[in-house]
DNA sequence: TAGAACTGTTATGCTTCATAACAAACACGA
DNA sequence: TCGTGTTTGTTATGAAGCATAACAGTTCTA
């Protein structure tokens, strides 16, 4: 992740006083943040949290600047000191959501030992679904149709964030592949996929999935896993399976996931306590 | 589909002249539609098509009344003669989308003989994906997060439309199940799913899926198929797989679908010309 | 052909996004 | 401590959208 920030705290010559640009870099500056800098960061965080609260309240990916301001006890124009416009706030929320989902998935995965890739995938799938069910609006924000009126910055931070998040799933398969514990997936390929992926790894195709390459059949298996768990998850998160009782949904998801893992060549998950 | 309309052309006593209620029933009235009735139907259709055009143009599920009116050479308030508000128009679009998707899926399915359920499912999956790729906004409209600000009518026509659409997938499995050509699915179940589905068929659970009941394991298999094809499809339709060349996406989808069908107990699709 | 019904218009009010102009609080060096 | 420039808030203002009201022309029908 690129540490390319010019020098925190050293404003560019062209910076106007009320400039909208926000420093989202997470690396610590040499000088401790000033009182004002901390206040600013806290306000930015509060704006984002308030926006998320509104999204959750209304069950959409939409929000009104005026509502955010009202809930924060401010007037709407004050928010423009922190975000240039709605799009900039949305971009920040999207990046956060990708990072948060990626972290949730990575945490769940890493609580299962490396030598149990079946269990690691099951953990990933469950955390993916749990995250989406808890935060359907943020899930829609990153993996649904773009929000009305939103125009993503070109080649921007959202793409990078997506790359990072998806890398968490890939690394699972990469490690399993490296460890040699993957059986050949049951998925068919007449050679098309392998051939195209060869080009991909030769750099002709720009994959948003970070990290070292995996064998074609592993890549195919990974996509199969992602698509399956994503399908159930998004139907579930958006309420299209609400006619099933929770226990039934859980059971169907569990059985589907285990089957998908088996098809993908992942070994049976080792029984775990908990 | 309920033919419960009071009597077309016979306005209720309470009907104000400018009443917004729209007759969406498709059954032919005894008296042929008058010049005005045809004009009205045509205008309603044009409004919906214009709204869809705007959604496609902007790549969202949103639209502006004023834009629709402008494109139609009208003023915005005129639209309220046809739809009470944005929600009513959205409801009509959602119902249309469900019906259209259901029809596309049914058409594709019925072009494959009844005794080739594997081929029928493959056809369904491909048409599902094709429809979603051609109409990502309508796909999001019905299977994504609700549109900002939209409040669906309670127990309303959208639920009914969803039921009808999903019944198309179910009937495939029902027919295969009846014909006895389904092998036992490879999906696991410790009894939870079968037990809960027994309650379901006893009427304790209200499934949105129309038609006669299918055996528990078939139901589970159907959901597995739906979730998998939906996952790939929605990732694809929303552009999250755009980094893959088309041929690769097609190949991966094809192999995933065939695998899912096999897991679900559907026989290998019979080779077809075309 | 006269009245009712229908379909369009302009005028209006409310709300939102966004900018401009201005005022208070703060940081910090002389 | 004071004074100056920065930061962060305010009110005022404008453009655009949803929705309703009041009104006018057109079409149907008795």
pLDDT surpasses 50 at B48: yes
Does the structure show a pLDDT above 80 at B27?
Answer: no
Cα(A103)–Cα(A109) distance, integer angstroms: 10
Residues of chain A with CATH 1.10.10: 35-81
CA dihedral B261, B263, B266, B267 (to 10 degrees): 100
Chain B interface, mutation test: which of A227, A232, A233, most B Cβ atoms within 10 Å? A227
Identify the CA nearest to A253 among candidates A114, A128, A137, A102: A128
Q: Is strand C within 7 Å of residue A77 (CB)?
A: yes
pLDDT digits (tens, 9 = 90+) for A148-187: 788 888 778 998 999 999 999 999 999 999 999 999 999 9
Average pLDDT (B29-37) is 67
**Domain at A35-81: CATH architecture:** Orthogonal Bundle (1.10)
Check CB contact of A226 with chain B, cutoff 8 Å: yes
For residue A17, give the nucleotide whose C1' atom is nearest its CA.
D6
Which one of B255, B257, B265 makes the best mutation probe of the A interface by having the most chain A beta carbons within 10 Å?
B255
Please give the average pLDDT of every successive group of 10 residues along chain A, which has 274 residues.
Answer: 30 34 43 79 98 95 95 97 94 97 98 96 98 98 88 83 93 92 93 87 68 84 97 96 94 97 95 76
Alpha helices in A34-85 (DSSP H): 35-58, 65-71
Protein residue closest to D27, using CA and C1': B36
CB contact under 8 A, A224 and B136: no
Contacts of B235 in chain A (CB under 8 A): 143, 226-227, 230
Q: What is the mean pLDDT of residues B255-268?
A: 96
Q: How would DSSP label each residue in A238-270? A: TTTTTTS-HHHHHHHHHHHHHHHHHHTTPPPPP
CA distance B235 to A238: 15
Distance in Å, alpha carbon of B201 to nearest chain A alpha carbon? 12
Identify which of A186, A208, A185, A205 has the alpha carbon closest to the alpha carbon of residue A195: A205
Nearest to B59 by CA among A55, A159, A142, A149: A149
Which of residues 38-77 of B have CB within 7 Å of strand C?
A: 39-40, 43, 69, 73-75, 77
Closest chain B residue to the Cα of A55, Cα to Cα: B148
**Dist CA B274 CA B271 (whole Å):** 10
CA B28 to chain centre: 24
CA dihedral B153, A57, B226, B26 (to 10 degrees): 20
Measured CA distances, B126 to A256, B88, B101, B111, B256 (Å): 21, 31, 12, 13, 11
The whole-number pLDDT of residue A152 equals 81
Contact A248 B193 (CB under 8 A): yes
Site of tokens 């600000």? B149
Contacts of B85 (CB under 8 A, 6+ apart): none
Closest by CA to A138, choosing from A94, A103, A86, A85, is A94
Task: Give B11 to chain A, closest Cα distance, Å.
Answer: 36
Answer whether A245 sits within 8 Å of B196, measured CB to CB.
yes
A230 and B233 within 8 Å at the Cβ level: the answer is: no
Instruction: Report whether B237 contacts B139 (CB < 8 A).
Output: yes
Q: What is the mean pLDDT of residues B235-240?
A: 96
Return the pLDDT at A213.
76
Distances from the Cα of A103 to the Cαs of A107, A160, A254, B31, in angstroms?
A: 6, 15, 22, 64
CATH number for the A86-263 domain, one of 1.10.620.20, 1.10.357.10, 3.40.50.2020, 1.10.150.650? Answer: 1.10.357.10
In chain C, which nucleotides are within 7 Å of a protein Cβ?
5-11, 15-21, 26-28
Chain-chain contact of A196 with B251 (C-beta, under 8 angstroms): yes
Q: Which residues of A in 87-126 have their CB below 7 Å from strand C's atoms? A: 87
Q: Where in chain B is the domain with CATH 1.10.357.10?
A: 86-263
Q: Which of B146, B40, B22 is nearest to B88 (CA)?
A: B22
| E strand residue ranges, chain B | none
- Cα–Cα distance list, B2 to B18, B26, B157, B162 (Å): 26, 11, 11, 15
Chain B contact present for A68, CB below 8 A = no
Q: Please give the residue of chain B at the shortest CA–CA distance from A194.
A: B248
Q: Distance between alpha carbon A108 and the CA centroid of its chain, in Å?
A: 14
Strand D footprint nucleotides (protein C-beta < 7 Å): 6-12, 16-23, 27-29
Mean pLDDT of chain B: 86
Q: Which residue is nearest to nucleotide D28 (CA to C1')?
A: B36
Q: Compute the distance between CA of residue B106 and CA of residue B99 in angstroms, rounded to an integer.
A: 10
Question: pLDDT per residue over B217-229, tens digit each?
Answer: 999 999 999 999 9
């Amino acid at each position: 992740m690129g540490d390319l920030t010019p020098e925190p705290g050293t404003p560019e010559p062209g910076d106007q006083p009320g400039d909208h640009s926000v420093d989202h870099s997470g690396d610590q500056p040499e000088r401790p943040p000033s009182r004002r800098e901390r206040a600013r960061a806290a306000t930015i965080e509060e704006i984002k949290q308030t926006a998320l609260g509104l999204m959750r309240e209304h069950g959409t990916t939409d929000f009104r600047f005026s509502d955010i301001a009202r809930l924060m006890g401010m007037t709407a124009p004050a928010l423009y000191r922190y975000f240039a416009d709605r799009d900039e706030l949305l971009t920040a929320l999207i990046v956060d959501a990708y990072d948060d989902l990626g972290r949730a998935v990575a945490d769940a995965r890493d609580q299962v030992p490396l030598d149990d890739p079946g269990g690691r995938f099951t953990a990933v799938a469950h955390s993916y679904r749990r995250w989406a069910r808890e935060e359907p609006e943020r899930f829609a924000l990153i993996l649904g149709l773009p929000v009305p009126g939103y125009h993503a910055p070109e080649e921007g931070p959202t793409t990078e964030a997506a790359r990072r998040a998806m890398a968490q799933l890939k690394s699972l398969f990469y490690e399993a592949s490296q460890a040699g514990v993957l059986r050949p997936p049951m998925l068919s390929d007449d050679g098309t996929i392998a051939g195209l992926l060869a080009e991909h790894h030769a750099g002709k195709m720009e994959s948003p999935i970070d990290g070292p390459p995996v064998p074609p059949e592993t890549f195919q298996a990974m996509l199969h896993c992602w698509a399956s768990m994503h399908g159930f998850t998004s139907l579930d998160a958006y309420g299209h399976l609400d006619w099933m009782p929770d226990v039934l949904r859980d059971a169907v998801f569990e059985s589907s996931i285990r089957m998908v893992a088996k098809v993908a060549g992942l070994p049976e998950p080792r029984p775990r306590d908990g």
